[in-house]
Structure 1
């Protein structure tokens, strides 16, 4: 086993896949700078920069995928998918269905997501619920370096459009950038685990749509993705001193959703708490409650989500985003 940082693991899996498959190309804003190791190894024909025009270069990615390539298109932040949503919503997601399977769009859209560092509501959104709502899109949100590399390899082998989201507080690249200059005086709640971890010597694709139980517990099941998994684990450890045993289920994939794993875990505890850094209304947290109820599983239910537009001020941001204190309070509410 090797030890790698989160983004390093993704890039290492990319390098392995690019060496094995000449159809894989990378492009996006600042991609030659961000993936300079890949640029040096594979050259400017396969690692390209683009103008700041998300509609143009994501549209080019969809066309390239339909023409036989397997592009990885980098959008600087998931928030900026709003600029080019027509390409995803009305084209990439529908080509296979509208062509009766004759055409596919094997594209990976890689985008940082998430908040907790004071960059406000135009740069800190998660939006996986919004994206997962669209039939035809696969949405992946890893929480560890090992999962990040394995899911990237799976995404590259998938024959449809995949949105690959990486939380900024797990990314060593983003943390280095955020911690520079005037931001040295600002503290971020970076999970103790997640940004660095053990990875395999050679990457193998992880199954898409398969959740993993990170922690067992008999009183309540906490379900989350990304940084939320680490927040939930920290909360579960703190609740031990109160005699509360909390399990943590890491979805890893927002769509397809591992409904069986969720229902099985909740059936064993009888209580479900969803920790979701995406918006509360009409999102993942509500979908999980529907999944459990439709399966006939009776349970107590609560959720800790992003409540509203994310404020710029850090002390206000901390009140809006899910954190350990809010998760602990949600569990205590369920236990009552």
Structure 2
């Protein structure tokens, strides 16, 4: 199978969706000739033109509002918000409109839009351009939330998001864009709500999201040399969440470590921990559940401070050793 970068997999999925369905179109800041803030839409303007690849003013609220209206009238807009931090400017349109309209109209109207956005730290973009806010939208009934960690998942899950009749928040970690991985040339769809066991193991279940999947796999390699076997579970989607796969893994290993980049306080890891604590898998636990998340501080600009603000491979190693004591 050929290899693509995560970014190229996103572009290919967009290209395939635009070619397949005339109702699909893209909207965003600088997505036309410039190709978007991170290059995900490069080449699409020349292929599909200004009707399908629409530059917008620098107004996330206007962008999201226009997408809601277009989706209500039968189109399938895909909007790009350059940095996930800027969803704050579009929260009324996403939270009070997109998420609620299907319910408030008695199911007679759907809002099939996708919000793509670059999330996370590691690029030195500082406090206003480096946050992980996926838990905000996961809290809202009516919104689906996707966090692909590999090029293969990025393409398949983006197709599923575009074909879904609900609003889908699609978070792409900035550091993932250059990841390489196997990606089929043909179109394929990965259903939302299906987790993936990225590495099988016997001693500790690690539930990791986004870029933390790669860090957990790196830690698993090191721990394997010590005789400690990690099972790395990637939920892939926070909403809907595949609790069955997570609980089955915890039942098997008896130990659980949850790792995400978002601030630990009120992060999605707490939701996963509570799901396990409220299930029969709780009785299989040999040690208390551990969570790793970002520190409750604005993201620093300085590289070393930024590194210390979020979990790293060494933090996963320390937590795993504590669980095995």
Instruction: Classify the TM-score, shorter chain.
Output: over 0.9
**Which residue number corresponds to residue 270 of structure 1?**
254
Separation (CA, whole Å) in 1 of partners of 2:238 and 2:262: 11
**Which residue number corresponds to residue 294 of structure 1?**
278
Q: CA deviation at 1:115?
A: 0.5
Between 308-317 and 109-118, the greater mean CA deviation after superposition:
308-317
**Which residue number corresponds to residue 334 of structure 1?**
323
Runs of 4 or more consecutive aligned structure 1 residues displaced over 4 Å after TM superposition: none
Q: CA deviation at 1:111?
A: 0.1
| Among candidates 56, 69, 74, match of residue 50 of structure 1 | 56
**Which residue number corresponds to residue 18 of structure 2?**
18
Residue 305 (str. 1) matches residue 311 (str. 2): no
Spell out, residue by residue over 1:167-203, the C-alpha distance to the aligned partner (whole angstroms, 9 max, x if none).
100114xxxxxxxxxxxxxxxxxxxxxx111111211
Residue 219 (str. 1) matches residue 203 (str. 2): yes
Q: CA deviation at 1:6?
A: 0.7
Q: CA deviation at 1:16?
A: 1.0
Between 88-97 and 307-316, the greater mean CA deviation after superposition:
307-316
Spell out, residue by residue over 1:188-229, the C-alpha distance to the aligned partner (whole angstroms, 9 max, x if none).
xxxxxxx11111121111110100101111110001122110
Q: CA deviation at 1:73?
A: 0.5
TM-score (norm 2): 0.95
Q: CA deviation at 1:21?
A: 0.3
Q: CA deviation at 1:117?
A: 2.3
Spell out, residue by residue over 1:148-183, the C-alpha distance to the aligned partner (whole angstroms, 9 max, x if none).
0001110110000001111100114xxxxxxxxxxx
**Which residue number corresponds to residue 40 of structure 1?**
46
Spell out, residue by residue over 1:218-266, the C-alpha distance to the aligned partner (whole angstroms, 9 max, x if none).
1100011221100000011111222211110011101111000100001
Query: In the alignment, is the contact (CA less than 8 A) between 2:265 and 2:296 conserved in 1?
Result: no
Query: In the alignment, is the contact (CA less than 8 A) between 1:116 and 1:321 conserved in 2?
Result: no
Describe the SS at the equivalent of 2:109: coil
Query: In the alignment, is the contact (CA less than 8 A) between 1:139 and 1:255 conserved in 2?
Result: yes
**Which residue number corresponds to residue 233 of structure 2?**
249
Separation (CA, whole Å) in 2 of partners of 1:57 and 1:116: 27
Q: CA deviation at 1:2?
A: 2.5
Structure 2: tracts of 5 or more residues without a match = 36-40
**Which residue number corresponds to residue 134 of structure 1?**
140
Query: In the alignment, is the contact (CA less than 8 A) between 1:61 and 1:71 conserved in 2?
Result: yes
Describe the SS at the equivalent of 1:297: helix
How is 1:183-198 mapped onto 2 (pairs within 5 angstroms)? Answer: 195-198=179-182
**Which residue number corresponds to residue 65 of structure 1?**
71
Query: In the alignment, is the contact (CA less than 8 A) between 2:260 and 2:292 conserved in 1?
Result: yes
**Which residue number corresponds to residue 316 of structure 1?**
305
Describe the SS at the equivalent of 1:165: strand
Separation (CA, whole Å) in 2 of partners of 1:314 and 1:166: 21
Spell out, residue by residue over 1:137-158, the C-alpha distance to the aligned partner (whole angstroms, 9 max, x if none).
1111111111100011101100
Structure 1: tracts of 5 or more residues without a match = 173-194
**Which residue number corresponds to residue 283 of structure 1?**
267
**Which residue number corresponds to residue 171 of structure 1?**
177
**Which residue number corresponds to residue 239 of structure 1?**
223
Residue 83 (str. 1) matches residue 71 (str. 2): no
Q: CA deviation at 1:67?
A: 0.8
**Which residue number corresponds to residue 180 of structure 1?**
none
Q: CA deviation at 1:285?
A: 0.5
Separation (CA, whole Å) in 2 of partners of 1:237 and 1:112: 28
Spell out, residue by residue over 1:24-80, the C-alpha distance to the aligned partner (whole angstroms, 9 max, x if none).
000111111222311111111100111101101110011000011000000010000
Query: In the alignment, is the contact (CA less than 8 A) between 1:209 and 1:257 conserved in 2?
Result: yes
* Count of residues paired in the alignment: 314
Query: In the alignment, is the contact (CA less than 8 A) between 2:210 and 2:260 conserved in 1?
Result: no
TM-score (norm 1): 0.91
